[in-house]
Amino acid sequence: MARRVTAIESLLVEKGLITSDVVDAVIETYERDVGPLNGARVVARAWVDEAYRGRLLDDGTQAIGELGFGGAEGEHLVVLENTPEVHNVVVCTLCSCYPWPVLGLPPRWYKSFAYRARMVREPRAVLTEFGTTLGDDVEVRVWDSSADVRYMVLPLRPDGADGLTEDDLVPFVTRDHMIGVVR
């Protein structure tokens, strides 16, 4: 894969369609400005700031924008809160609508037909394949992202994380938590 990417990049540069600086800028954008670290910062803030958490659940787009994240693929963001009684999980049954500013590029499995179809029909089985086993007392809610609305899950704060700072909490949050495939 790396060789193919290098070959394509070299060909595009050689033909004058792009420059190496453009490639570097795109890579830097996804490493620094767009990605799951942004979402982790949103989640960590919500875990330590109750007022922010309220704003986030009330208007995800606006609250996420307060932290400087938004833009293309980040309009109309709804944040779904996991609780001990409810577990939310996100899928896009049509294609792969996904909130890039807070989750980065969608993983390959998120775009797969199997994930898209099975998550709706048998969410508990799919979650188990991700290592997430939920008791029968936990309601599973599956949310279908679209071009009109994209979802992000606010996961449960980890046990034993009391007293940790916002920065300390960021590493606890992964993309898979914010999609809802892991608890």
Choice among 10, 20, 95, 112 that is catalytic: 95
Choice among 20, 96, 112, 145 that is catalytic: 96
Q: At what angle do helices 50-58 and 36-48 cross, to 10 degrees?
A: 120
Asked if 92 is an active-site residue, the reply is yes
Choice among 10, 97, 112, 145 that is catalytic: 97
Candidates 23, 181, 1, 25; CA nearest to 103 is 181
Asked if 95 is an active-site residue, the reply is yes
Distance between CA atoms of residues 127 and 138, nearest Å: 13
| Cα 58–Cα 161–Cα 106 angle in degrees, nearest 5 | 55
Asked if 145 is an active-site residue, the reply is no
**Looking at the annotation, which residues are catalytic?**
92, 95-97
